[in-house]
Amino acid sequence: MTWSFTVREFRYWLTNYRRTWRGSIYSSVLSPLLYLGAMGVGLGTLVDAHGTASLGGLSYLAFLAPGLLAAAAMQAAVEESTYPVLGSVKWRRTYLAAAASPLRPADLFHGHLLFTAMRLAMNSAIFLAVMAAFGAIESPWAIAALPAAVLTGLAFAAPIEAWAITVTKDTSFALVFRFGMIPLFLFSGTFFPITQLPAWLRPLAYITPLWHGVALCRSLTLGTASLGGSLAHVAYLAAVAAVSIAAGNRSYRRRLYV
Amino acid sequence: MPSAEPDIRSELADRPGSVTGVPAPDVLIHARGLEKSFGGAAAVAGIDFDLRRGEAFGFLGPNGAGKSSTMRMIGCVSPPSGGELTILGLDPVADGPAIRARLGVVPQEDTLDVELTVRENLIIYGRYFGLPRDVIAERAARLLEFVQLADRAADQVEPLSGGMKRRLTIARSLINEPEILLLDEPTTGLDPQARHAVWDRLYRLKQQGVTLVLTTHYMDEAEQLCDRLVVMDRGKIAAEGSPRDLIGRYSTPEVLELRFDPAEHDQAAGKLADAPAERVEVLADRVLLYTADGDAALAAARGLGLEPLTSLVRRSTLEDVFLRLTGRQLED
């Protein structure tokens, strides 16, 4: 019953997405093109000219691309789990309508997470295809970077959704973007190895889900993944998502069953 | 043309008794000592009522009386803080999904998806109930016909008038052919013409045997639609009965309304205390005399040397019942 309820809510988001999917596909293609073109190829040429010993002799493009893959998943997840969630209780109030149907608050939460996972999978597949076109993939293991990126996104979507349903004003989201997402984007090993960070700052990077996502995706597209290391990253990201889902089950119920 | 009216209950009508073949109990909602409080403040302070199959039952009261809180508890989206509540023989906290599958809900504020079309709103809602595609399509067409929106099926919801949105919400609430239809202030905010259109549809549902529960602070709405109602005030039930019962019990057949020059209002009100009426209510702008014979009371008032600016003899309404029970007026 639970699964079928989740699917019913998922289908709501799907119906809704039918009107906007074209635009979203364009930006899913355009964004990796721009980033990989400007930073991977443009900036990468400069970096490579100075020698890439600190990157393990890799081209900057091959180093950067999987990091961006994970970071893009985070960005898409944050986008999908903030305004759409608050809007569902505050502006469009579709959650309030659905709460009067057999669906329970947790079903609404899970249905939207499932939809978010689908969006992440689409985005990441396109991203990987663009990476391949740029010649930024070094190993067939790159195919496993698709679920890895989705999991990275879910490790953000689940906690943020669990929180977003409790928010009353959208100004809170600006803080998440400015002081959460952007610092993570810049300092989680996407653009440079975190060994370049001061030693005291490194542990902070290790506890962020994005660093695990970046490290996992990178080891897969480069073909340097170890079983133990990959499992540790997956376990960490899955644990963040699982704990957040438990918290979200509760926060959705408290918000919708007053 | 009532004969041309599509019967929204056609499928249920083919099924004698309940789905399981066991005769459903006559009492659909049973509440005893039902309470709801928010952070210590009691919104519903211990109410008892029973809803029977096929009746139109109303909660009449001013804003803040606890009507919406009661409706949300019945709708299984608000756990009771105390007391007993069973809906369709089930527990609203443990069996929420099973109960909600058999309810229709028209909330006080529209929750239509304004970015979708009229028809899509019904389809999406039907899917929430797990109904098969062809069943949803057939019901959506029939319900749009019923609420007179068939010609707007493909239009966006956003530009529809308030009355049309309300009717669409009613159509949406019927997509699962509910056993009980809950309507929270169904016509608040609508202009008179739109209200009458909504009343007309609700009246037809009632004729088709749909069990209705509605809250309202409009006494005319309660009088038109409810077989039985409770008067709610400050979280409690002040009285219960049919509209006619309540009026008979708590008011007189006629009411004389007198309006005086504001400068003379208080003085006139003082004199009228001795008028031959069962009861005199002094409001801010009027004096009401409750009596069996309004014309005689008017003559008596004139006999006291009073010259009202306007006088009106009318029958008692639920408004008078409410005033009698609480000392306050329903609508502000």
Residues B39, B136: one domain?
Answer: yes
Residue B332 touches chain A, beta carbons under 8 Å: no
Cβ-based contacts under 8 A for chains A and B: 69
Q: What is residue B274's predicted lDDT score, i.e. its pLDDT?
A: 80
Report, as an integer, the average pLDDT of A208-223.
Answer: 96
Residue B90 touches chain A, beta carbons under 8 Å: no
Q: What is residue B327's predicted lDDT score, i.e. its pLDDT?
A: 83
Residue A97 touches chain B, beta carbons under 8 Å: yes
Q: What is residue A179's predicted lDDT score, i.e. its pLDDT?
A: 87
What's the one-letter identity of residue B207? Q
Residues B61, B140: one domain?
Answer: yes
pLDDT(A95) > 60 = yes
Query: For A9-57, how does the pLDDT look when each residue is reduced to its tens digit (9 = 90+)?
Result: 999 999 989 888 988 899 899 999 999 999 889 999 888 888 878 788 8
Which among A103, A256, A258 has the least Cβ separation from residue B128? A103
Can you list the alpha helix ranges (DSSP code H) found in A100-226?
105-133, 145-164, 171-176, 182-187, 202-207, 209-222
Count up the domains in chain B and report the number: 2
Residues B124, B166: one domain?
Answer: yes
Residues B279, B200: one domain?
Answer: no
Give the mutation candidate from B122, B128, B181 for the A interface (greatest A CB count, under 10 A).
B128
Residues B238, B268: one domain?
Answer: no
Q: What is residue B16's predicted lDDT score, i.e. its pLDDT?
A: 40
Which CATH number characterizes residue B137's domain?
Answer: 3.40.50.300
Please list, in sequence order, all residues whose beta carbon lies within 8 angstroms of the beta carbon of residue B164, skipping any fewer than 6 positions away: B149, B152
Residues of B in contact with A93 (CB under 8 A): 109, 111
Q: What is residue B8's predicted lDDT score, i.e. its pLDDT?
A: 52
Q: What is residue B273's predicted lDDT score, i.e. its pLDDT?
A: 84
ipTM of the complex: 0.88
Which CATH number characterizes residue B263's domain?
Answer: 3.30.70
Residues B201, B281: one domain?
Answer: no
- Whether A16 and B129 lie within 8 Å, measured CB to CB: no
Residues B205, B279: one domain?
Answer: no
3-state SS class at B309: coil
Query: For A112-169, how does the pLDDT look when each residue is reduced to its tens digit (9 = 90+)?
Result: 999 999 999 999 999 999 999 999 999 999 999 999 999 999 999 999 999 999 999 8
- Whether A102 and B124 lie within 8 Å, measured CB to CB: no
In a domain, B196, yes or no: yes
Residues B9, B118: one domain?
Answer: yes
Residue A12 touches chain B, beta carbons under 8 Å: yes
- Judging by DSSP bridges, how do beta strands B254-259 and B310-315 pair with one another? antiparallel
Using the 3D structure, point to which of B221, B242, B263 is the last residue of a domain.
B242
Q: How far apart are CA B321 and CA B311, in angstroms?
A: 20
Give the mutation candidate from A94, A101, A103, A258 for the B interface (greatest B CB count, under 10 A).
A101
- Whether B113 and A94 lie within 8 Å, measured CB to CB: yes
In a domain, B332, yes or no: no
- Whether A102 and B113 lie within 8 Å, measured CB to CB: no
Residues B27, B172: one domain?
Answer: yes
Residues of A in contact with B127 (CB under 8 A): 8, 11-12
Residues B275, B169: one domain?
Answer: no
Residue B217 touches chain A, beta carbons under 8 Å: no
Residues B176, B293: one domain?
Answer: no
φ, ψ (nearest 5 deg) of residue B229:
-150, 160
pLDDT by residue for chain B (332 residues), tens digit each? 444 455 554 444 443 433 443 444 689 999 999 999 998 899 999 999 999 999 999 999 988 899 999 999 999 999 999 999 999 999 999 999 999 999 999 999 999 999 899 999 999 999 999 999 999 999 999 999 999 999 999 999 999 999 999 999 999 999 999 999 999 999 988 999 999 999 999 999 999 889 999 999 898 899 989 999 999 999 999 999 999 999 999 999 999 999 999 998 999 998 888 888 899 999 988 999 999 999 999 999 999 888 899 999 999 999 999 999 988 887 65
- Whether A8 and B128 lie within 8 Å, measured CB to CB: yes
In a domain, B256, yes or no: yes
Residues of B in contact with A4 (CB under 8 A): 130
Query: How far is residue B274 from each of residues B267, B297, B301, B320, measured CA to CA in Å?
Result: 12, 11, 9, 20
Residue B58 touches chain A, beta carbons under 8 Å: no
Using the 3D structure, point to which of B180, B208, B242 is the last residue of a domain.
B242
B325, B314 Cβ separation under 8 angstroms: no
Residues B209, B272: one domain?
Answer: no
φ, ψ (nearest 5 deg) of residue B9:
-100, 15
Query: For A182-214, how does the pLDDT look when each residue is reduced to its tens digit (9 = 90+)?
Result: 888 888 999 999 888 888 888 888 889 999 999
Q: How far apart are CA B297 and CA A210, in angstroms?
A: 83
In a domain, B329, yes or no: no
Q: SS3 breakdown of chain A: % helix, strand, coil, rounded to 5?
A: 80, 0, 20
Which among A19, A96, A102 has the least Cβ separation from residue B128? A102
In a domain, B323, yes or no: no
In a domain, B326, yes or no: no
Domain enclosing residue B56, as ranges = 2-242
Residue A11 touches chain B, beta carbons under 8 Å: yes
| H helix or E strand, kind and range, residue A142 | none
In a domain, B327, yes or no: no
